[in-house]
Amino acid sequence: MLNRISTYFYLRPRLVLLLFLVPPLVWFLVVYIGALITLLINSFFYLDGFTGQVVREFTLQTYAKLLLPTNLQIFFRTAFMAVLVTIACMIIAFPLSYYMARFAAPRMKGLLYLAVTLPLWTSYVVRVYSWKLILAQEGIISWFARLVHLDGVLQWYLSNDAVGGPSLSVSPTGIFLVFVYIWLPYMIIPIQTALERVPKSLIEASGDLGATPAQTFRTVLLPLAFPGVVAGSIFTFSLTLGDFIVPQLFGTSSFYIGKAVLTYQGTSGNIPLAAAFTMGPIVIMIAYLLIARKLGAFDAL
């Protein structure tokens, strides 16, 4: 009986393919694309300021609101933070990934893999809160600054409006540090995978042909690792763009996109404006991916 079923399916590969594809397609179209379309539609409605009701009529006035200086500032602030976080993650991730891919013995590599992914086993919220303790006024960083008599420097740093705040735990610097911490694994893994695929002989060949290690890095290693770097940066960049918990917990009064969405949607019930805000990161990501494609990041796919 079982044999006959097997034979039935074996002879009809198209049917098998269909059966395999239906569940993910349904999920993708209904849940995924459907939600996005709902968002898009909502962003063309508007909130009647007098009644507090959403008016279901096509309008661009919600988008016009996005262009108000305060709202534009939110976009720029968030995108700038995402860029900084991405660059910092790249700088930290590359050497570690390189070590893991090229030099680490199998045992060491396993351990490092574990160490990199271990934080992902615990709740994101718990980890973020633990940083609250680290960065707090009474936290280890401030304690250490006092210990080495650099608390004056810390105070001076925090007094700068652009980066500081009442304490590290309530400042753009705090947001930056926590973002770099939580998204770092998403940068390390793709870079490490890309570097792993570069044969050792290519590095040797480059040196053999007269290139110093720095030249080899620039002309061989970096271009070949580039797709991995881009993949990692897509994670760190988009996750930073949309996150609302970290700015909420560590932010001063300045808004970030995620926090703005949360506030408009939850607190003031302005779903159209929240939806329009959400379109922001989507557009930024599309632009980002187009640039990445232009630079050849997906040539290897």
Partner 1 sequence: MTESAILFKNVSRHFGEVKAVDDIELEIKDGEFFSMLGPSGSGKTTCLRMIAGFDRPTSGQIILYGQDVSNLPPYERPVNTVFQDYALFPHMTIDENIGYGLMIKSVAKAERVKRVDEMLDLVRLRGFGYRKPSQLSGGQRQRVALARALINHPKVLLLDEPLGALDLKLRQQMQVELKNIQREVGITFIFVTHDQEEALTMSDRIAVFSEGKVEQVGTPSDVYEHPSSSFVAGFVGTSNLVSGEVAERITGSPRRFSVRPEKIRLAEPRDEIESDMFSIDGRVRDVVYLGLYTRYLVELDGGGDLVVVEQNLKTTSMDVTKAKGRNVRLLWKREHVSYVEG
Using CB under 8 A as the criterion, which residues of the chain lie in contact with partner 1 when the complex forms? Answer: 199, 201-202, 204-212, 215, 219-220, 223-224, 299
At its nearest, how many Å lie between partner 1 and the CB of residue 204?
5
Would you report the helix, strand and coil content of the chain in percent, each value rounded to 5? 75, 0, 20
Cβ proximity to partner 1: between 169 and 216 the closer is: 216
At its nearest, how many Å lie between partner 1 and the CB of residue 151?
47
Q: Report the chain's terminal Cα–Cα distance, integer Å.
A: 42
Per the structure block, which two tokens stand in for 16? Answer: 């098998």
Cβ proximity to partner 1: between 224 and 282 the closer is: 224
At its nearest, how many Å lie between partner 1 and the CB of residue 224?
6
Per the structure block, which two tokens stand in for 138? Answer: 């009474």
Cβ count near 153 (within 10 Å): 11
CA 187 to chain centre: 9
Cβ proximity to partner 1: between 78 and 216 the closer is: 216
Per the structure block, which two tokens stand in for 121? Answer: 């086993």
Give CA–CA dist 290/281, Å, rounded.
Answer: 14
The Cα-based distances of 166 to 16, 142, 156, 159, 255 in angstroms read: 61, 12, 11, 8, 17
Cβ proximity to partner 1: between 118 and 209 the closer is: 209
Determine phi and psi for 46, rounding to 5 degrees.
Answer: -145, 160
At its nearest, how many Å lie between partner 1 and the CB of residue 112?
24
Q: By the 8 A CB rule, do 78 and 241 touch?
A: yes
At its nearest, how many Å lie between partner 1 and the CB of residue 208?
5
Q: By the 8 A CB rule, do 259 and 249 touch?
A: no
Cβ proximity to partner 1: between 56 and 218 the closer is: 218
At its nearest, how many Å lie between partner 1 and the CB of residue 226?
9
Cβ proximity to partner 1: between 209 and 283 the closer is: 209
Cβ proximity to partner 1: between 138 and 208 the closer is: 208
At its nearest, how many Å lie between partner 1 and the CB of residue 157?
42
Q: b or e along 233-258 (b: 16 or more beta carbons within 10 Å of the residue's beta carbon)?
A: bbbbbbbbbbbbbbbebbbeeebbbb
The amino acid at 50 = F
Determine phi and psi for 264, rounding to 5 degrees.
Answer: -65, -40
Give CA–CA dist 229/93, Å, rounded.
Answer: 9
At its nearest, how many Å lie between partner 1 and the CB of residue 213?
8
Cβ proximity to partner 1: between 161 and 204 the closer is: 204
